[in-house]
Homo-oligomer: A and B are copies of this chain.
Amino acid sequence: MKEIPVQDLSLSKTFQTYQKKFKALADERRLQIMHQITQQKEVCVCDLSDTMALPQSKLSYHLKILLDASLIKKETRGTWSYYSLNEEEVNHLLSEELCCLFRHD
């Protein structure tokens, strides 16, 4: 039997949430994706596949990580999936100085 060395369980939960968000941002390709989404408001996988020269499966993989961290939003129209910035979440997380790079004002 091992003791769990956590004083504050809710704080631990908070850290886990932020860990997930920072992990999503901890990749150069995903930062590029974030940047492009920030610039273009709305982007589909095929657009990104062109501009970033990445295969579709890789993009879907990275987009899912950003989506699961609630940093971006997804809307499906027809066969297309459109991704956009989750401004509320991003602005909560990142400084205003990172505006234009990864967040809007």
Residues of chain A whose beta carbon lies under 8 Å from any beta carbon of chain B: 5, 11-12, 14-16, 18-19, 22-23, 25-28, 31-32, 35, 52-53, 91-98, 101-102
Q: How many copies of this kind of chain does the complex include?
A: 2
Q: How far is the CA of A38 from the CA of B15 in the complex (A)?
A: 14
Contact in complex: A26, B22 (CB < 8 Å)? yes
Q: How far is the CA of A23 from the CA of B21 in the complex (A)?
A: 10
**Chain B residues closer than 8 Å to A93, beta-carbon distance:** 94-95, 98
Smallest CB gap from A54: residue in B = B5
Q: How far is the CA of A12 from the CA of B52 in the complex (A)?
A: 12
Contact in complex: A25, B27 (CB < 8 Å)? no
Q: How far is the CA of A93 from the CA of B102 in the complex (A)?
A: 11
**Chain B residues closer than 8 Å to A15, beta-carbon distance:** 28, 31-32, 35
CB-defined A-B contacts under 8 Å, sample of 19: A11-B35, A12-B28, A14-B101, A15-B31, A15-B35, A18-B101, A18-B102, A19-B25, A19-B26, A19-B31, A22-B23, A22-B26, A23-B26, A26-B26, A92-B95, A92-B97, A93-B95, A94-B95, A95-B96
